[in-house]
């Protein structure tokens, strides 16, 4: 008779671990806390000197001359589209294998999201599918570097240059990533980043837009605060509203956390790399799962998420039940993402069908995210491996239970 720990919790057994392991957790140090306290004591909490310092440090790190601190990565995408001149009726080509935040700002701009299918190995947008969808109405390419893996930036850059398109990087997962030896923001006309608590660094909530074009940065800076410009003055600042703007400005409270988080950004990546490689070793060759492929030597994966693909043919439960089984084992597995082409709004609004997105549809039904965050221990990772192996073993089709 099987011992209780070998029976899945879903069938009345005992969990692999006693304490729930989330799929992401922000790493907050004493230095972070001291920085926030200092800002609280300073009496200045809104956009100010700390925001300016964080922008400078962040822009320098990602390789762009200008950086604009914002309230979220979603706000950064909205402003990127606006300063790039995306207007009603324009088309923006993007990937369906992403979070809702990538596509909604396109719709809000009055433009049309055109989804291009992904590469089933990298889960990133497939440049051939992009090329096939470029029309006279295409204004921009919005590339998402899924899980921190760089897109094929050489080809996307070439497509953008030859069709006069703006290349925007949604680098919410990929602050530290590089493609062919260069940072992603250096390949892109505009890049956007997120500092949500589950991202590689956090400001609580927050985002950043970066670019090398001064005019675009100044426009984004004006748009983030009500479209207000300063008129020349006689010692007293007279302002004018030159366009309807937004309330998207980052606060100094957020920026002070961002500043100290920047100090450990490379260390955080190294910490995640240990876990990522432990998973790769353990899952490579495990029947029923496939692991992320390696990135070329001159590129760098930011290792934001670790995703496996389940071979659902050899299981008697689907991916969602598999996830549920892992959660009951106290493993915070999640789904990133159900493809946007299957989400009811985009499916209906853009009349999208699975047949037109075979790779996204395939991945969407099989993908699973496993816990990965800086500071996670190898023992934690090993408990994830054991739980995945246990659930695979117990729910294998025709297998012995």
Ligand X SMILES: Cc1ncc(COP(=O)(O)O)c(C=O)c1O
The answer to the question of residue 196 lying near ligand X (CB under 6 A) is yes
Smallest distance from ligand X to CB 39, Å: 20
Among 67-75, 80-88, 316-324, 386-394, the segment contacting ligand X (CB under 6 A): 67-75
By beta-carbon distance, which residue lies closest to ligand X? 73
| Smallest distance, ligand X to C-beta of residue 9, A | 29
How is the beta sheet containing 367-370 ordered, strand by strand? 289-290, 306-310, 367-370
CB of 144 to ligand X, least distance (A): 5
Given the structure tokens 């689907």, which residue do they identify? Answer: 318
Mark the segment that binds ligand X (CB under 6 A) among 93-101, 213-221, 244-252, 338-346: 93-101
Going by C-beta distance under 8 Å and a sequence separation of 6 or more, which residues neighbour residue 326?
A: 333, 368, 387, 388, 391
Q: Which of 98, 211, 342, 364 binds ligand X (CB under 6 A)?
A: 98
| Annotated catalytic residue within 199, 247, 353, 390 | 199
Alpha-carbon span 247 to 261, nearest angstrom: 24
Q: Contact 58/105 with Cβ under 8 angstroms?
A: no
Task: Select 61 or 337, whichever has its Cβ closest to ligand X.
Answer: 337
Read off the tokens for 245.
């703007």
- Contact at 8 Å (CB) between 156 and 134? no
Active site residue 199: yes
Give the integer Cα–Cα distance in Å for 227 and 89: 23
By C-beta, is 173 or 219 nearer to ligand X?
A: 173
Cα–Cα distance for residue pair 350/258, rounded to 1 Å: 38
Q: Taking contact as CB under 6 A, which single stretch among the options 11-19, 51-59, 70-78, 292-300 is the one that binds ligand X?
A: 70-78
* Distance from C-alpha of 140 to C-alpha of 164, rounded to nearest angstrom: 9
Binding of ligand X by 102 (CB under 6 A): yes
Q: Measured from the CB of residue 371, what is the shortest distance to ligand X in angstroms?
A: 16
Q: Binding to ligand X by residue 94, rule CB under 6 A?
A: no
Kindly tell me which residue out of 54, 61, 99, 373 binds ligand X, with binding defined by CB under 6 A.
99
Stretch binding ligand X (CB under 6 A), from 29-37, 115-123, 166-174, 372-380: 166-174
Which tokens hold the place of 222? 């004006």
Confirm if 157 and 127 have CB atoms less than 8 A apart. Answer: no
Shortest approach of ligand X to residue 84 CB, angstroms? 16
Tell me how far apart the alpha carbons of residues 393 and 282 are, in angstroms, rounded to a whole number.
15
The answer to whether 147 and 24 have CB atoms below 8 angstroms apart is no
- Is 176 a residue that touches ligand X (CB under 6 A)? no
Q: Report which of 179, 178, 168, 246 is spatially closest to residue 209, judged by C-alpha positions.
A: 168
Q: Which of 59, 73, 245, 292 binds ligand X (CB under 6 A)?
A: 73
Q: For binding to ligand X (CB under 6 A), which residues are involved? A: 72-74, 98-99, 101-102, 144, 170, 172-173, 194, 196, 207
For the annotated catalytic residues, the residue numbers are 199
């Amino acid at each position: 008779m099987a011992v209780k720990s070998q029976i899945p919790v879903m069938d009345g057994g005992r969990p692999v671990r006693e304490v729930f392991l989330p799929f992401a957790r922000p790493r907050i140090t004493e230095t972070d806390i001291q920085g926030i306290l200092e800002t609280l004591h300073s009496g200045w909490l809104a956009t100010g000197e700390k925001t300016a310092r964080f922008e400078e440090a962040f822009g320098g790190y990602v390789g762009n001359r200008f950086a604009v601190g914002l309230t979220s990565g979603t706000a950064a995408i909205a402003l990127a589209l606006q300063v790039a001149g995306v207007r009603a009726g324009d088309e923006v080509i993007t990937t369906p294998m992403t979070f809702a935040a990538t596509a909604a700002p396109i719709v809000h701009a009055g433009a049309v999201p055109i989804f291009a299918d992904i590469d089933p190995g990298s889960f990133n947008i497939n440049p051939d599918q992009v090329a096939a969808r470029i029309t006279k109405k295409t204004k921009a390419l919005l590339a998402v570097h899924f899980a921190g893996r760089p897109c094929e930036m050489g080809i996307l850059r070439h497509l953008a240059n030859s069709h006069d398109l703006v290349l925007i990087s949604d680098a919410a997962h990929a602050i530290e990533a590089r493609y062919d030896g260069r940072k992603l923001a250096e390949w892109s006309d505009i890049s956007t980043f997120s500092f949500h608590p589950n991202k590689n660094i956090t400001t609580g909530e927050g985002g950043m837009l970066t670019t090398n074009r001064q005019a675009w940065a100044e426009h984004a800076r004006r748009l983030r605060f009500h479209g207000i410009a300063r008129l020349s003055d006689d010692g007293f600042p007279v302002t004018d509203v030159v366009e309807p703007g937004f309330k998207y400005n980052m606060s100094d409270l957020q920026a002070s956390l961002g500043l100290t988080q920047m100090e450990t950004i490379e260390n955080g990546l190294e910490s995640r790399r240990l876990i990522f490689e432990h998973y790769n070793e353990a899952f490579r060759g495990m029947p029923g799962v496939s692991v992320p492929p390696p990135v070329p030597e001159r590129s760098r994966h930011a290792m934001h998420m670790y995703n496996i693909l389940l071979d659902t043919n050899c299981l008697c439960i689907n991916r969602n039940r598999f996830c549920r089984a892992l959660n009951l084992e106290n493993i915070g597995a999640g789904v990133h993402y159900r493809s946007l082409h299957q989400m009811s709004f985009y499916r209906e609004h853009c009349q999208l069908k699975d047949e037109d997105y075979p790779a996204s549809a395939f991945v969407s039904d099989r993908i699973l995210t496993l816990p990965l965050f800086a500071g996670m221990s190898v023992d934690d990772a090993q408990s994830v491996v054991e739980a995945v192996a246990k659930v695979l073993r117990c729910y294998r089709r025709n297998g012995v239970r």
